[in-house]
Amino acid sequence: MNESEATGSKLRWLWLAALVIVLDLGTKAMATAMLTYANPVPVMPMFNLTLLHNTGAAFSFLAGAAGWQRWFFITLALVVSVVLVFWLKSLRRDETWSAIAIVLILGGALGNVYDRVVHGYVVDFLHFYWNNYHFPAFNIADTAITIGAGMMILDIFRKPRDSGGDPE
């Protein structure tokens, strides 16, 4: 099998990244249009829709910084996205699980980058809680990133260890 047959075929999964971006931006637009900022709308026990703006990263990390974090997170996400596309392109034909994980992370990263570039913050609206504990609000992009990262972690345990080499 030549290199072109073994690698590069996983770029076809980029449609999933595009779907994540469309769903993410669509739901954020709906949340922005239909919800009042910081006013929880109960959906079911332990779950509200609450429109929030996050200028930081995950769990509002660096949200209180002076504004430099916006460009830092944009640059970081774009660099990571380029790396993910090259990684996706290098996958072998049998690495579909990894391809799906990569494009979920890619789609989520680009959905949040769009928000940072256009708005200066990420739109969050999914708000889970238990009694007085409130999990940080998040969005579809964050969900895709989390699922993709979880798939990568699971992949570490799924792959058989290399049996070559000397035992220690």
Q: Is the pTM of this model over 0.85?
A: yes
Is residue 86 predicted with pLDDT exceeding 50? yes
**Residue 56 lies in domain:** 8-35+48-158
Is residue 164 predicted with pLDDT exceeding 90? no
Q: Per-residue pLDDT tens for 99-157?
A: 999 999 999 999 999 999 999 999 999 999 999 999 999 999 999 999 999 999 999 99
65 belongs to a structural domain:
yes
136 belongs to a structural domain:
yes
143 belongs to a structural domain:
yes
CA-to-CA separations, 11 to 20, 71, 91, 94, 105, in angstroms, rounded: 15, 28, 9, 13, 14
Q: What is residue 72's predicted lDDT score, i.e. its pLDDT?
A: 86
Q: Per-residue pLDDT tens for 57-68?
A: 665 555 555 566
Q: Which residues lie below 8 Å from residue 61, measured CB to CB, with a gap of 6+?
A: none
3 belongs to a structural domain:
no
- Compute the mean pLDDT over every residue in the chain, rounded to the nearest whole number: 88
41 belongs to a structural domain:
no
62 belongs to a structural domain:
yes
Residue 38 is encoded by which pair of tokens? Answer: 């910081």
Residue closest to 140 by CA, chosen among 25, 56, 59, 63: 25
Mean pLDDT across the stretch 8-13? 86
Helices vs. strands in the chain: H and E counts, helices first: 5, 4
Overall number of domains in the chain? 1
101 belongs to a structural domain:
yes
59 belongs to a structural domain:
yes
Is residue 84 predicted with pLDDT exceeding 90? yes
- In DSSP notation, 135-152 reads PPPB-HHHHHHHHHHHHH
Question: With pLDDT > 70 as the criterion, what percentage of the chain qualifies?
Answer: 82
Residue 143 is encoded by which pair of tokens? Answer: 């969900």
Give me the residues paired with residue 114 across strands: none
User: Confidence class of residue 5 from pLDDT cuts 50, 70 and 90?
Assistant: low
Catalytic residues: 124, 142
CB 108 within 8 A of CB 148: yes
CB 10 within 8 A of CB 89: yes
